[in-house]
Amino acid sequence: MYVRDAKNRDEVWLLDSLEELGLDDGSFRSRDYVIALDEESGEKAGFGRIRVHKTDEPFCEVTCVGVSERWRGQGVGAHVVERLVDRAAAEAFDTVYGFSSDHGYCAQFGFEAVDAEDLPSGPRKRLDGVREADGDAIALRLDRESFSMPERLRERFKVAAPASAGDAEPELTAEDFGYDEETPTKYSTNLRR
């Protein structure tokens, strides 16, 4: 299992996964995402986004972190968050924000709750926007040096495996796209004479 930057070819999978998990990314850009993949099968297991808000005082947000159901509980999300924090540091942000109602999950990495009135104006406006969809969301802040990966999650990630191989998505065929391989078209590469 490893985490890499998303590529353009990952867009469809990312959009489908965001929809499946009910995550809203109104300003989707695949280049802002990282993806966790299984080294052996190449199966995508999780993802997350680093979003830079270019306001008067720019700030960085970890958002849209999701893990496929078959890969949950194995440290995949934790390693996605770690990679996102590293990317924020590479973009010269010492502080990273998150806005979530699942603050217990975030706290294990060093994120701390911040009262809305103590936030700079940009993060405060973002929190207000997130609360429109999730009324229980709170603001979380992480100073880069405070990030810590729980050892149990690091160990789980080393041996991560899908919950059940029988639940894997079937491989797509030409027929799934409405193309019949037996009927010649001007683009066919299998014309028989």
Span 32-59, pLDDT tens digits: 999 999 988 889 999 999 999 988 889 9
Question: Is 179 within the bounds of a domain?
Answer: no
Q: What does the pLDDT look like over 155-173, one tens digit per residue?
A: 888 888 888 755 445 455 5
Question: Is 171 within the bounds of a domain?
Answer: no
- CATH code of residue 67: 3.40.630.30
Question: Is 192 within the bounds of a domain?
Answer: no
CA distance 13 to 44: 9
Question: Is 113 within the bounds of a domain?
Answer: yes
The answer to whether the CB of 45 falls within 8 A of the CB of 36 is yes
Question: Is 190 within the bounds of a domain?
Answer: no
Q: What does the pLDDT look like over 60-75, one tens digit per residue?
A: 999 889 999 999 999 9
Q: What does the pLDDT look like over 87-136, one tens digit per residue?
A: 999 999 999 999 988 878 889 999 999 999 999 999 999 999 889 888 89
Structural domain count of the chain: 1
Instruction: Give me Rg for the CA atoms of the chain.
Output: 20
The answer to whether the CB of 121 falls within 8 A of the CB of 57 is yes
Question: Is 193 within the bounds of a domain?
Answer: no
| Residue span of the structural domain in which 87 resides | 2-161
Average pLDDT value for residue range 175-184: 54
Question: Is 97 within the bounds of a domain?
Answer: yes
192 falls in which pLDDT band (50, 70, 90)? very low
CA distance 39 to 120: 41
Query: Which pLDDT does position 182 carry in this prediction?
Result: 58
Average pLDDT value for residue range 173-186: 53
The answer, yes or no, to whether residue 11 has pLDDT greater than 70, is: yes
- Angle of the 76-90 helix axis to the 151-158 helix axis, nearest 10: 110
CA distance 40 to 34: 18
23 falls in which pLDDT band (50, 70, 90)? confident
Question: Is 170 within the bounds of a domain?
Answer: no
